[in-house]
Each structure stands twice: as structure tokens, then as C-alpha cells.
Amino acid sequence: MESKSSTLAPLPEDNQDQPQSDHATPSAFSSKPIRPPTQTSSQKYSPIDWKDYFDHEDDVCIPDTNDVFHIYTAGKEGPVVFCLHGGGYSGLSFAISAGIVKEKARVVAMDLRGHGKSSTENEIDMSIETLCNDVHAVVKKMYGDAPPAIVLIGHSMGGSVAVHVAAKKMLASLAGLVVVDVVEGTAMASLMHMQKILSNRVQHFPTLEKAIEWNVRSGSLRNIDSARISIPGTVKYDDSQQCYRHRARLEETEQYWRGWYEGLSEKFLSSPVPKLLLLAGTDRLDRDLTIGQMQGKFQMVVVRHTGHAIQEDVPDEVASLILNFISRNRIGPHGVEIPGIRRPSQPNA
């Protein structure tokens, strides 16, 4: 069979010794493509300002105490989505979701006791009673005796606080409860490993960029942009050691851990408001919740391809789930809205 190689234009490297014709076809390799500059590690993990997502930050001073709780707020209308972060996180954990939710609802994200920029007389007293009272005190200080409709959303430890607040009926205007990746059975089983997990963490970071990078590379957070916003709120600069350290002293709060999660499933199921449970996997469901879910006592969504911090890993999806939950349950600025009934406070059409 006759070779057809003679009909192919030679590659540049095969034709270096041959004279170039004026009519030669230009090679695809004759010029280098323009490539974007490579980001350095420092640029890739540099902090992002929360102001692109939340509208304001403020300090809520609790009367007759020295406790000051830091909050981030967004939005102007609709019910209030009140966010409680997990242990070791901060209110900025909900930043990207807040940037979406604020288009149709108000958002408040609180730095819990011993976390973020909040300052309290006793940073270690993280008993479930104290944490619940903190949330009640902040809501009371912000809204007085006429609070708007509140949808309480809590992640991990913050989820347990949200459930306890709801079960105790501490917020008269509570209209919805969203719990993110915390289930009694799984949480109780993990407590025996918590001290080891905490001690195995990197404890010191020379820069904020290194703190962000460690959280992403370790798998704690899977969304780099969210980590760049939230991680600066979880560390604090140590002047004596000239480095950043974890803000929350969780290893000193072990005596309170069981109180966060004991009886959580029953309290969640008995909470007298619409409920949404977001999980990273169905293996987290315990018996009580499995039965309750089959009986239609709450809505459950398994959010795939995420780690424990679902609201950070897929903030767009979580924001959409929150807004759908509000819409599905007809939660308005003042509570459940019943079609065809106009509130007296609203102007006539």
C-alpha cells in the first residue's frame, strides 16, 4: 500500500532543514497561547470581605451584663432568617447564603458565646441553657416585645441550640426551624473522639492565608470562596506568640457537650413549627428521625457532595432550600400568611 505521508504538511520540528515556502500553512504550534497569570498560594487563599454578602455588622449589648454579641445583618424585608453557627465557626459561615437570601428575607447571623467577635464574661460556659438564653437575649434586645417572624437555622452545635430554643418555645414569633447536619445518634457517638480531633488540628498559623489554606486542604471546608470569608472570623491573633490561633476554646467545654445533643431527636420532632433537616448523608438519620420522616413530621433534604459544613460547601443550594422552605410554608414578615386575608397594618389595595 502506498504511503500517504507525502501528502501531509511536515511538522515544524521535522522540517527544520528545509527552506520555508512563502505559501506554507501556519502551524498551530507557531505561537504560544496567552495564559492567565498563575495565582500564588497567598492570592488563592487571601481573605474576602464579608461586606459583599452582609449589609452591616453590629454589637448587641445585653442589659445588666458585660456580654456583647456580634451580629451580621442583611436584607430589608420579609421574615428574619436567624443563623446559628457550629462549634468553632462564626456568623460568617452563612455569608454567601445570606447574600442570596437577603433578596427575599432578612438575615441575622450571630457570633455565639466564645466565638467570632462576641465578648462575654464567661467564654467557657457553653451549656445548652446558657447558649439558648444568649439567643433569646439577642432577639429581645434587637426586636423588643414585637419581634418579626423568625426562621431559626442552626448548623451542628448551633443546630442543637436552635432545636432547644424551639422546643422550649423561647421565641413567640418562631415560624420555622432549619437544622443543618446534626442528628442526636451520630453526634453522641462522635463525642468520644472530639478531644482527639481538636488536639490533632494545626494550632498555630503565621498568616490568615495559611489558616484558610489549612481548612480547605484538610477538607473541613470544600468551598474556597466561603473559607476566604468565614475563616478569618474563627481565628484570633496571639500577640505573645506572633501567630493566629483558633478563637473558640472548644477543648475546655467538654463538660457541656452531652447536653447539646441528648434528647435532640425528640425535641426536634416535638417543636411546634415547620421543620427542615439538611443532611450530608442518610447514614446520619437515627431511629426516631427515620420514623418521624416517614410520618411526614418534617421535610428532609440530603445535600450531596458536601462535607459537614453544608451551608459553606454549597451556599447557593442552601439559600435556595431556605427560600423554598419559607415560600412552601407561607412564612411572611409577621408569621404565616393566609391567602385572601389582609393584615390591618397593610395599606388597602
Selected catalytic residue, list 67, 111, 181, 313: 181
Using CA atoms, how far apart are residues 240 and 294, in angstroms rounded to an integer?
A: 55
- 308 is a catalytic site residue: yes
Sign of the C-alpha dihedral computed for residues 113, 170, 176 and 167 taken in this order: positive
- 181 is a catalytic site residue: yes
Among 110, 116, 108, 111, CA closest to 147: 108
Rg, C-alpha atoms of the chain? 26
> CB of 107 within 8 A of CB of 84?
no
Grid coordinates given for 206: 503565621
Regarding beta strands 68-74 and 106-110, do their DSSP bridges make them parallel or antiparallel, or are they unpaired? antiparallel
Which stretches of the chain are DSSP H helices? 41-44, 95-101, 128-143, 157-167, 184-199, 208-217, 224-230, 257-261, 264-270, 287-294, 310-313, 315-328
Grid coordinates given for 238: 496571639
Using CA atoms, how far apart are residues 196 and 155, in angstroms rounded to an integer?
A: 21
Among 198, 168, 348, 194, CA closest to 267: 168
> CB of 331 within 8 A of CB of 273?
no
Q: Which residues pair with 45 in a beta bridge?
A: none
Using CA atoms, how far apart are residues 340 and 319, in angstroms rounded to an integer?
A: 28
Selected catalytic residue, list 93, 156, 220, 265: 156
> CB of 277 within 8 A of CB of 300?
yes
> Which residues lie closer than 8 Å to 302 by C-beta, 6 or more apart?
279, 280, 281, 282
Report the catalytic residues.
156, 181, 308
